Structure formats: structure tokens, C-alpha cells
Structure 1
Amino acid sequence: MPDQASMNPSDTPTATAHKVLIDSYGRRIDYLRLSVTDRCDLRCNYCLPKGFKGFEEPDHWLTFDEIERVVGAFTRLGVRRVRLTGGEPLLRRDLPILAGKLSALPGLQDLSLSTNATQMARQALALKAAGITRLNVSLDSLQGERLASIAGRDVLADVLAGLDAAAAAGFAPVKINMVVQAGVNDDEIDAIVAYCMERGFILRLIELMPVGDTGRTAQYLDLQAVVANQAQRLGLIASATELGGGPARYWRSQDGRFTLGAITPISQHFCASCNRVRLSVDGTLYLCLGQDDKLALRPLLRAGIDDAGLEAAIVGAIGRKPERHEFREQPDKIIRFMSATGG
């Protein structure tokens, strides 16, 4: 196999030749995480520092037409899953219009959304009608004061109302993402398990990643023992069923009514099977969350690149995707915040 990292875009196979993105380590890339804004209405202590104002100017954001062009190029290259992220994606005005454009693209099989759900109660029906089927919702605590301490303001009632609206609108599955911090909310896992079991939600426990100063100073907890204890307590069995194409490993109850997932980028990384890249709101294609390898697509789009050139640029970038992150070896390496990268 030729070294794709050394190829020029003009030397790389086009979409019509192979219809698939393979990096230089043989991994198929079929999942794009698309940030539609770097703004957020929360200031979670592991994501954005209080008082942060260094957001991208709206003129630097990709327009809906530009996003549709880029995602169209990815789908022609074999990407089948797209997740809308932020920041908080529901802060992007007219998001259901964009979702409708993307869900209509040939080849796209799965359009999902990651959100904190503070704005979900008033948008759930429009988002579902636009073609979004699955949701990931951040919920780190069911205690109002504790969640306010983590997220920067009192939002528990809004989040729970958003989850009720999502369930009523028919989103399935709804996954609850709990970032577990030692000494902060790790005593609340049983309570959130019970909440998810009662409502039919999937719970995913997530290890902190040292992305930006906020991520490095938060209270990391290795989740291996936590997951093992929950599996034993609830009688869960490991599941080989893929639930969305992401990095989580899953365990199910024997009656199939509850699923627990774990995302463990530090204690048990999943780089060997990585199938995703991230596109930030300013059009920067990040090839690895834990590395700085990237491709700036906005200048190409605004310089008038044609579809064939856009596809060739993407294929060339995928050939430079790193083998793995270095969060353990170089925890200070990534200085950008998670919201600037895309969730």
C-alpha cells in the first residue's frame, strides 16, 4: 500500500475511484463529527474556563451552504455517519434547516446530535422532523447545586425538561453522557443509572481527557473498576452490538432493558479502531482529538475549490491522520479547548 502521507492531493484516488476513506494505518474513516458553533451556554469545569471570550467570529464560521458542500464531499467518499456538535449546537440559529439539508444528502445513513439539552424543549420536534434520529445528552449530576457547580449555572430543570421533550418527540436511542470526576460526582453513578433505567436511556460513563487547561486540571478518574463494579452489581454482560459507530464499549442487562457504555480514552484507548475526524465551526478538519494534525478547509472553499479538488484535499488529509493520541505521554500537548475542536 503506498504511503498516503507522502501523496500529493493530485496523486490521490478520487471518490469515484474508491468511495471509501482509508488512512495510512488501514482504518476506514466513516464518521464525521461536525461542530456548528464553538459557543456554549454553559461553562463546564472540564471544557471552558469561566470568563472565556476567545470564540471564533461569526464571519469565520462555515455557512450552511459551505457545510453542506463539505459533508457532501465526505459522504461521496464513504462517510455514512455525521454528528452535529458544538459548543452547544442548539445555539446555532436555524439548526433544523441545516439538519434537513444534511439528512437529504445521498449516502448519509445516520445524522445525530450531541447537546446539553438546555434548549431542547423548544426544538425537539423540529430537529426530529429535520432528520436527526439519535441524541447524546450531557448530564453530569442529578443534584441541582452540584450540576450548577460543574456547569457554571443552574440548568438541571431545563436539561430534564429537554430530555422529556426528546423522549416525547421519539428520539431513539437517547444516550446520557456522564463525565465522571473523582471526588466531584463519582458518588452519583448509581443514581444516574437508576434514572436512565427508569426512562429507557442508555448511560455512558466518560473519562476526562486533558484537552486544554480546563481538561488537565479537572479530577480524572480511571473508569475500569467503576464499570466492572456496575456490571457485577447489575448483572450486565458485554455487548458486541455497535451503537452508533463511536468509541464506546457497552454492557447490557440480561433482559435487554438497560445498556451501560464506557468511553475510556486514557485507561483503555481505542485509537487502533478510530473511524472519525472532526470539523470545527471555522472549517478546520482535525484528524485526531489528541494531536494537532489538521487541514484548513475554509480558505479552500472561499477560494473557489471545485468538488473534485475538495475531495482530493480531504483524501490527502486522511492520509496524514496520526496513529494515536499521546494524552498519557504528553498531557500538556493540546492547548485548544474542547469547544474549539468539536465535541
Structure 2
Amino acid sequence: MNATDVMDLKIDRPTTDIDRAGERPRPLIDPFARAITYLRVSVTDRCDLRCVYCMAENMTFLPKADLLTLEELDRLCSAFVAKGVRKLRMTGGEPLVRRGVMTLFRSLSRHLQSGALDELTLTTNGTQLPKYAAELKDLGVRRINVSLDTLDADKFRAITRWGDLHKVLEGIDAAQAAGLQVKINAVALKGVNDDEIPSLLSWAHGRGMDLTLIEVMPLGDIGEERRIDQYLPLSMVRTRLSERFTLEDIDYRTGGPARFVRVKETGGRLGLITPLTHNFCESCNRVRLTCTGTLYMCLGQEDAADLRAPLRASETNDPLYAAIDEAIRHKPKGHDFVIDRRHKRPALGRHMSVTGG
């Protein structure tokens, strides 16, 4: 399939209950009265980088035959939209390396046009943005997250194992030129980028971009690296930043887990995602769908539901809606993340790239 074929590809959508009856299926409310309005979708487990906190260097990826088709991903996402999801985030791995992925964005953009969806967005490492940024903007994507942990080219290559910082910076340039609002996500890594966080903050805010810092999460075997060696509590980072900047707590939310502060000296926002030092479970409105159709109700738990079987069992969405409802009834109150200091084991066996963070 060449580029022209991809542009011309159409996703055939089945008739759904909402199409027939004109009524939405009942919304998603979990056992703790939290409305589930945010779906993160890992469209692929593959990535063109190998960040040391995310993957092992020699990853074994899923056979391509195991992945849902783009048509199936569209149908699953649309079922969640029909049940009250207002925000879709495409993740990976690296979502923009999935062949033909823009056809999925193009099809899902109809929910933005109808008003059924508030936001369609993605998290990316930025390497493919020079190719896709303008089209993403044309399809209704308004803001994106770019993962970037350092502005030092040698350090970037070490963190990503072979990445080229210049390509990511070109991607950010392309995104901003296209009119996309960019937020930078940086994982705080002890002894790696902790000394660089103030300059990363100043750089991001100087370009009109918010910065969100994330504690390393104990997911997946990452080879010789050890989580305890990587882990840097953001409570410590905030204390250090407070010696240089004035941080003011603000009531600002993006629909995700970050708590934000305003940096008085720059005027920009700094987000903090703290799954270990202070989890964000009490207000969790999210579930995560993998590229194989597995639904994880919590990033930090192994409980999951298979949606591929009911998806393929019927041309109508009734079995799928029932499976989604049953899954949400099992959403836990929170995760149990902890870094195992004695055995140096991850909290969970699956890698971050499987569920997309």
C-alpha cells in the first residue's frame, strides 16, 4: 500500500445502536461513582526508540496479525464515545509508526464534528511530526504531548538508546508551525536529567509549552537498568525547584492525572504526575485499550477484559456494550505501584508500551 492508497483508504463503519435508535447507551460509571470519560488507545506496541525506562533494548513485539485492524479500532473507540467517553488519546509505543494510522484519525474526527467528542489527541515521541503535524491539525487535533526527557543530544541518545534529538526538535517545530498546542512530558530520572529540569522548564515555557514531569513507573522488565536506580520522587524535585522558582498551586486540569502549578517567573504551567509519592486514583476517569483489544481498567493492575471477542462476535454493538459495562464494574479503586527495593522487580510484568501509559 503506497501513500496515495493510505490517503484514499476508507474505514467501513457498522450500523450501531446509536445510529438505529438515536439514543446513547448508558454512560460508564465505575463502582466508586467515577464517570469514565477518557479512553487511551495504544494503536501499536512498536516504537522507533527504546527509552530505558519504557522498554528493553531487544524487545519482542506482538505479531502484526494479532493487532486489531484500524477499522476495528475505530469501531471500539466509537463504542466508547457512544457510552460517554469525551476524550480519546492515541498512544503506543509510538502511534505515528502504525501504518495507515492517519486513516484512523480521519475517521474518528467525525465525532469531533458531531460534538460527541471533546478532544482527539495523541502522545508521541515527536520523530514523525514533521510528516504528520499539519494533517493532524486539519483533522481536528488541537494539542499533543511530546515525550522529551533532555535537551542534551548525547544524553538523549543514551536515554533512548539510539534516538536523534534533532529529529524530535524538528517535530516540535513542525507541530507549532501547524498550530498545534504542544505539552512536553519528561520522566524524572535520578542521576540522569535531575540537574537539567530547571533548564528544561525554562526552555519549554520560553516556547509557550507546558511541561509535565512524571515519576518513573515500575512496569516491565527493562533489562540491566534498575527501577530503584532511576526513581526520583517529584516531591524532592518540587522542593528543589521552589528554591529557584515561585510555584503557585492552580486549579487547572487537562482530563489526565497531572496536578499543575503556575511558575511565576515564566508564566507557564508545570504538571506533576506522581504515581508513587502521591497517587491520583481518587479522581481516575480513565481506562486503557491495547492494540489487541484488551481493556485495562487500571494502569497499575493486571485485571483486564477482552473486547476483541465480542467485537468480532456480532455486527451489532450489543455484545460489545455488554462487555464494556462488565469490565467497568471491575475497575479498582486504585493501583498498588511500589518499587521493589529488595528484589529489583517491576510491579507488573507488562511494559508501558503495551498499554500506552
Q: State TM-score, norm by structure 2.
A: 0.87
Distance 1:103 1:232, change over 3 A: farther
Distance 2:174 2:346 in 1: 40
Task: Indicate whether 1:227 and 2:238 are aligned.
Answer: yes
Task: Indicate whether 1:34 and 2:41 are aligned.
Answer: yes
SS in structure 2 opposite 1:212? Answer: coil
Q: CA deviation at 1:255?
A: 7.8
Task: Indicate whether 1:140 and 2:149 are aligned.
Answer: yes
Distance 2:310 2:77 in 1: 15
Number of residues paired by the alignment?
A: 327
SS in structure 2 opposite 1:165? Answer: helix
Q: CA deviation at 1:236?
A: 2.5
Task: Indicate whether 1:167 and 2:181 are aligned.
Answer: no
Counterpart for residue 44 of structure 1: 51
Letter in 1 for 2:204: C
Identity of counterpart residues, as a percentage?
46
Q: CA deviation at 1:18?
A: 6.4
Distance 1:277 1:31 in 2: 7
Letter in 1 for 2:123: S
Q: CA deviation at 1:305?
A: 5.5
Distance 1:74 1:178, change over 3 A: same
Letter in 1 for 2:200: I
Distance 1:97 1:257, change over 3 A: farther
Task: Indicate whether 1:262 and 2:272 are aligned.
Answer: yes
Q: State TM-score, norm by structure 1.
A: 0.90
1:56 to 40, 62, 69: 62
CA RMSD, Structure 1 to Structure 2 (Å): 2.0
Contiguous gaps of at least 5 residues in structure 2? 1-21
Task: Indicate whether 1:336 and 2:347 are aligned.
Answer: no
Letter in 2 for 1:191: S
1:77 to 79, 83, 94: 83
Letter in 1 for 2:333: E
Distance 2:249 2:106 in 1: 36
2:185 to 177, 180, 183: 177
Task: Indicate whether 1:324 and 2:334 are aligned.
Answer: yes
Counterpart for residue 245 of structure 1: 255
User: Is the Cα contact below 8 Å between 1:62 and 1:282 reproduced in 2?
Assistant: yes
SS in structure 2 opposite 1:292? Answer: coil
Q: CA deviation at 1:70?
A: 0.8
Contiguous gaps of at least 5 residues in structure 1? 1-14
Distance 2:331 2:45 in 1: 23
RCO greater where, 1 or 2, for CA within 8 Å and sep 6 or more?
A: 1
Task: Indicate whether 1:201 and 2:185 are aligned.
Answer: no
Distance 2:328 2:243 in 1: 40
